[in-house]
Amino acid sequence: MPTYVSGQLSNLDRKSVDPIVLAAGIPVRKLQKFLAQYAWNEDAVRDRLQQMVASDRGSKRAIGVVDETSDVKKRDWTPGVQRQWCGKVGKTDNCIVTVHHAFAQDDFCCLLDGRVVPARKWSEDRPRNRVAGIPGEIVYRPKW
């Protein structure tokens, strides 16, 4: 976990497994196995983080931030990827779109939650969603 978190918080251009392990000098398979097989309760971790931020940082100067983020992807096996508007490059491209909710106050900012926004073709392909681990309740919704 420390290797993964350090990699995500680093200045690496790409934050996927390969660049992270190459920078850390550990075998690729080790981090892949950790990420694929370690089971944890994501909802409980998210809920606890939100509780901690609310109790430790809540004030009248705090704001909530909702941000759509897109990232270009070369292939289409990443869950939610398809040709769609990609704000990162300012055109239609093969990409994934996510929406994030953050908390900001003075010089403190913390990501509280994030979700993949499934593309229409993914939402209509339930077998593909099951293989990718996308729950049935997550479906395509227009941005508006």
Is residue 88 a contact partner of residue 95, using CB atoms and an 8 Å limit?
yes
The residue range of the domain holding 100 is 64-144
Asked if residue 116 is part of any domain, the answer here is yes
DSSP string, 27-75: -HHHHHHHHHH----HHHHHHHHHHHHHHHH--TT-EEEEEEEEEE-SS
Whether residue 39 lies inside any domain: the answer is no
At 76 the pLDDT is 73
> Does residue 98 fall inside a structural domain?
yes
pLDDT score recorded for residue 135: 79
Domains: count for the chain: 1
- pLDDT single digits (tens) 88-133: 999 999 998 889 999 999 999 999 999 887 778 888 888 888 888 7
Count of other CB atoms within 10 angstroms of residue 119: 20
More confident position, 134 or 143: 134
Instruction: Please state the pTM of the whole predicted model.
Output: 0.67
Asked if the structure places residue 121 within a domain, the reply is: yes
- Does a structural domain hold residue 103? yes
